[in-house]
Amino acid sequence: MASLAACSTSASVPEDAPPTCSSDQGVDTYLAGLEKVGVNGMLDFQLVSADPAPPMRDDNTWIVQIDSLSNGVVGGPASGLTLVVSPFMPSHQHGSPIEVMVTPSTSVAGQYTLSPINLWLPGVWQTTIAATLGAVSDQVVYTFCIVP
């Protein structure tokens, strides 16, 4: 139970209470199509869908659309990228024990399926998607509250 209490943000919550993330800063609200600009401003990332939606405990499958970005303007699909997907629970300082597999779409340019994204404990999870292709290197972080 100590690990569950560590996820909680309120000191007045009993140790056996499930964690909440309602007061955590920087947590994304899931919405199909949630769009973010990469930290280097080279790529535009869109979380097209999540299954389950919103993201929940255990295995999740996400579909992301990644497009080129130039001077803040979204360009064409970024196909052929190498993606590394890293779920991380900051309050516990650990990642997920299961490697995320990346499958490029054969029908939609710039679209990738990420699965399984294993968010195995309740609390705040940050999932970093790092993308590279030649001189293009960018990443984004989606942060969700995973409830019991």
- H-type helices in the chain, by residue range? 2-7
> Max Cα separation, the chain?
51
CATH of residue 30: 2.60.40.10
> Per the domain annotation, does 94 fall within a domain?
yes
Which pLDDT score is estimated for 4? 38
Which pLDDT score is estimated for 19? 60
**Domain coverage including residue 140:** 26-146
Written as tens digits, the pLDDT of the chain (148 aa) is 334 334 444 444 445 555 667 667 899 999 999 999 999 999 999 999 999 999 999 999 999 999 999 988 999 999 999 999 999 999 999 999 999 999 999 999 999 999 999 999 999 999 999 999 999 999 999 999 999 8
Number of domains in the chain: 1
Exposed, middle or buried by CB within 10 Å (0-12, 13-18, 19+), for 91? Answer: middle
Contacts of residues 97-100 at CB distance under 8 Å and 24 or more positions apart, as own/partner, are 98/59
> Per the domain annotation, does 126 fall within a domain?
yes
Which pLDDT score is estimated for 148? 85
> Is the separation of the CB atoms in 122 and 147 below 8 Å?
yes
What is the reported pTM? 0.86
Which pLDDT score is estimated for 12? 46
Where are the extended beta strands (E) located within 54-135?
Answer: 58-70, 73-77, 82-89, 94-95, 101-104, 111-119, 123-133
Q: CA-to-CA distance for 23 and 17, rounded, in angstroms?
A: 16
Burial state string for 32-67 with b = 16 or more CB within 10 A and e = fewer than 16: eebeeebeeebbbbbbbebeeeebbbeebbbbbbbb
